[in-house]
Amino acid sequence: MRFKKLAILFMASFGIGQLYAQSGAEGQQLNNNATLTDLIDYALRNKIELKQADIDKEIGEREIASALSGWLPQINATGNYIHNIQLPTAVIAGNTITMGQKNTSMLTFQADQSIISPQLFQASRAAKFVREQNNLNIESTRINTVVDVSKAYYDILTSEESINIINENIARLERQYTEANSRYEVGLVDKTDYKRAQISLNNARAQLKSANEIRNYKYDYLKMLLGMPTSRPLSLSFQNQDMEASILLDTTEVLNIANRVEFKQMQTLKDLQKLNTQFQRWNFLPRVGAYANYGLNYRNDKFGDLYRDNFPSSSVGLTLSMPIFTGTKRIQEIRKSELQEERLDWDLINLENRISTEYSAAMASYRANMTEWRNAKENMELSEEVYNTIKLQYDAGVKTYLELMTAETDLKTSQLNYLNALYAVLSSKLDIQKALGTVDITN
């Protein structure tokens, strides 16, 4: 049994060691008590979607290299062997003459070089647009990563503060329950007060358990955004995280649609479509190429002597291919590509309208949430004042326990509302930055 435990421990240590060795080799370890900056930096290095985007970029480079390889000489080798069961004949001066030999074999090497090729012209000009498209895809993924990780971090911070509020509420309810029970035992009040205190305490403990379960899910969701296995531990640092100090935003900043990555992506698609239209026009050009070949030719009536004698051949030349009439196909392809350009123009206008509406909605949400947050903050301060006053009056026997419980419930509700309003402001601020195209992705 002891050996089994040691073996399990060794395997676990080896697996963890391999995991951390891999992470350390790539400089991707996440320290304990990670800050928001640490999380964003880790996510930008490890998120699965970003790794996939990097792979897509590398695939794009291979596709570009593959397309441009057509400018290099294309060298091929072909070979055959033919056994003539019946030799062909020809009539020459009235005489039937058998031509050829029983066995023939040939090996030919040929090099082709493209000189004028519409496909290669298009590939050469499209390379920079394909690279730009892949880079913009990575940029878009990085922006979404920063926004999503920031929201998840603030959401967990809100949950942690909510749990602290619930724990404080439970501590107050436990004291109130103890006081109510003592008053009942000495005959100052009936059992209704401490029964109510017991009910409130049970509800608060159930609320705490639910809050802890939701918090665990939020941590798992953050790990997913980070590209981290959910089985790995994650500890966050909330020091110096003044959420109130992070909510301010310059609402006078003017929206510049050209800053949005989606606008840049649409512009790149439009450039590629223009290039495709040009390619369709290039199809009227001839295809010109050069070639050179060298052939090894063998022939003999006896198979065993076939490869004794070689009759080589070689040639060089130019090729010209030009379709004259294709049933209006080229004209139709040009018109279709022009229509696709026109459609992209409308897509661009639609995108501009959507971005403007998105920015307007984010700004309206931010301002509304700011109003709600100020109101929630004032209500929380008032609730604390009311609770403290009623608590003193209850201790003095002026107020009833029901009034104390109502004040305590109002205090807890106002504190939770304040936290939710604060998170809503931070979330809408991130939405505005995303709408403006000003999210910092330089981590």
CB of 89 closer than 8 Å to CB of 97: yes
Amino acid at site 350: N
> What is the four-CA torsion angle of 158, 160, 161, 165, rounded to 10 degrees?
130
CA dist 154 and 247 (Å) reads 12
**Gap between the Cα atoms of 336 and 344, Å rounded:** 12
Q: Is-contact 367 358, C-beta < 8 A? A: no
Q: What is the pLDDT of residues 264-299, one digit of tens each?
A: 999 999 999 999 999 999 999 999 999 999 999 999
Question: What SS3 state is found at 236?
Answer: strand
Instruction: Report the distance separating Cα 430 and Cα 150, nearest Å.
Output: 8
* Sheet (strand 287-300) strand order: 74-83, 103-116, 287-300, 313-321
- The answer to whether the CB of 422 falls within 8 A of the CB of 379 is no
439: which residues sit within 8 A by CB, 6+ positions away? 143, 146, 147, 430, 433
Q: How far apart are CA 267 and CA 279, in angstroms?
A: 18
Sign of CA dihedral 28, 29, 31, 34: positive
Q: How far apart are CA 286 and CA 283, in angstroms?
A: 8
Query: The whole model's pTM is what?
Result: 0.81
The ranges assigned to domains in the chain are 27-72+117-285+327-436, 77-115+287-321
Task: Provide the β-strand partners of residue 297.
Answer: 106
Distance separating alpha carbons of residues 432 and 426, to the nearest angstrom:
10
DSSP annotation of 111 = E
Q: Are strands 95-98 and 313-321 parallel, antiparallel or unpaired?
A: unpaired
Q: Which residues pair with 358 in a beta bridge?
A: none
**161 contacts: CB under 8 Å, gap ≥ 6:** 419
> Helix %, strand %, coil % for the chain, to 5?
65, 15, 20
Q: Give the helix ranges, DSSP H, for 186-291.
A: 192-226, 261-282
| Both tokens assigned to 166 | 């619930």
CA distance 440 to 443: 8
| DSSP run (H or E) holding 422 | helix 401-436
Q: How far apart, in Å, are the Cα atoms of 401 and each of 109, 180, 192, 201, 213?
A: 102, 8, 9, 14, 31
Q: Which residues contact 91 (CB under 8 A, 6 or more apart)?
A: 97
Q: Which amino acid is at 220?
A: D
Q: Which residues, at least 6 apart from 130, have a Cβ–Cβ distance to it below 8 Å?
A: 60, 63, 64, 272
Rounded to whole angstroms, the Cα distance separating 299 from 304 reads 11
Q: pLDDT of the chain along its 443 residues, tens only?
A: 333 333 333 333 333 334 333 443 344 577 788 888 999 999 999 999 999 999 999 999 999 999 999 999 999 999 999 999 888 888 888 888 888 889 999 999 999 999 999 999 999 999 999 999 999 999 999 999 999 999 999 999 999 999 999 999 999 889 888 888 887 777 776 778 778 888 989 999 999 999 999 999 999 999 999 999 888 889 888 765 567 777 888 888 899 999 999 999 999 999 999 999 999 999 999 999 999 999 999 999 888 889 998 999 999 999 999 888 888 999 999 999 999 999 999 999 999 999 999 999 999 999 999 999 999 999 999 999 999 999 899 888 888 888 888 999 999 999 999 999 999 999 999 999 999 999 988 76
* Number of neighbours of residue 49 by Cβ within 10 angstroms: 17
Contact 407, 387 (CB under 8 A): yes
At residue 150's C-alpha, the angle toward residues 442 and 20, to 5°, is: 75
Q: How far apart are CA 137 and CA 131, in angstroms?
A: 10
3-state SS assignment for residue 89:
strand
User: Which CATH superfamily is 27-72+117-285+327-436 part of?
Assistant: Outer membrane efflux proteins (OEP) (1.20.1600.10)
Dihedral of alpha carbons 47, 148, 246, 163, sign? negative
Residue with tokens 């004040």, as numbered in its chain: 407
Rounded-to-integer distance, Cα 178 and Cα 401, Å: 13
Whole-angstrom Cα Rg for the chain: 39
